[in-house]
Amino acid sequence: MTSPTPARARISVVGAGPGGLTCARILQRHGLDVTVYDRAPEADSRNQGGSLDLHEDDGQIALREAGLLEEFFALARPESQEMRQLDSSGRLLGHHVPAEGETAAPEIDRGQLTGLLLRSLTPGTVRWGQALTAVGGPAEGPRTLTFADGTSVETDLVIGADGAFSRVRAAVSPAAPVHTGVHFLEAWFDDLDTRHPELSELVGKGNAHAADGERCLFAQRNSGGHMRVYLIRRTPADWLARAGLRPEDTEGIRAHLLRDYDGWSPELLRLITDNDGPYVDRPILALPVPHTWEHSPTVALLGDAAHLMPPLGVGVNLAMLDACELALALSRCATVDDAVRDYEKTMLPRSTETARMLDGGAESLLEAPSPEDLARFGGDRN
């Protein structure tokens, strides 16, 4: 089969996260038809996750191409670029306060970013409640997308923006995510300034990080008076079962954590004991490095589907940059096949370089700060 021109191609994006929606938005800005499929029953039916910092050299580039940068800055929180580095006694070691007008990496809630992108799309672009089960059809196309409800569609290009456990990735690669040995447990805090004023003062307007080499607490302001805290430890993926605990056993998990963080200051331990609601277990996974695959003229991957890495501030930014570059390639190339090749020539080397740099990097979250870290944060405040 001859690869079609992008203008006549049936283009399908699987996954309505920031990467998939960015790709769809830029495609539509260039007059290309696209349909997005997502397993969620509707836009607001799932927890969107915490706050994201979008960088000038990737995420913000994508938003500029999407024509949404101005609206992003209207929603973003530049003050959240504040960062505090603490030790396990609660002593402030380093403190970065953003300069007036600093826009290098302002924060925005994931839900706000997703909403901004969704509102920018042509109504009906996203088909909710479409859980992909398989990608079929010959490599040269057309491809068949089969969904859990028994329906199927034909497409000339399927773009996998469906995250760590991508169903689209299976069409071109056997790779699967593996546990990094580091685990996050997420805790939520609501109405922070009123209900938790001491913690509000501790964390400040942005993020606060404390680590002792074995354990870490990372607190992150969200909008609307909310905060998420990530309790980061080196532990096996099945640590809950090994400890005889269930995800809903909040009190049992809390007691386990207090033993793990024994010796930390009472002030910091309130980030473990005072949360509103249950904990959320988040194992940290990554794809093999490097992750490459044989080119297919009908399948493209972006974001975590292509290069799942430890959560060190690059994931969504890279996904959005991938999405931008793929959409622009489709807007300028003669065929879909040419566009995918053009995109992969840039994306694969970049993702391989970044993945190598971050390989094992989840361990760095547990490390006590070095003198270089303290200098970056603004110096020792002993």
Residue ranges for the binding site for FAD? 53, 110, 304
In whole angstroms, give the CA distance from residue 118 to residue 126: 8
Which of 170, 183, 376 has the alpha carbon at shortest distance from 293? Answer: 170
Other beta carbons less than 10 A from residue 52's beta carbon: 24
CB of 185 within 8 A of CB of 257? yes
Distance CA 308, CA 296 (A): 20
Feature table: binding site for NADPH: 46
Share of the chain residues as helix, strand and coil, in percent rounded to the nearest 5: 35, 20, 40
Cβ–Cβ under 8 Å, residues 363 and 183:
no
**Residue numbers belonging to the annotated binding site:** 46, 53, 110, 304
Question: What does the DSSP assignment read for 329-342?
Answer: HHHHSSSHHHHHHH
Angle at 227 between CA 215 and CA 85, to 5 degrees: 45
Closest CA to 381 of 87, 102, 88, 80: 87
Cβ(158)–Cβ(168) below 8 Å: yes
| Nearest residue to 72 (alpha-carbon basis) of 320, 252, 366, 292 | 320
The CB-side HSE value for 291 (13 A sphere, CA atoms) comes to 27
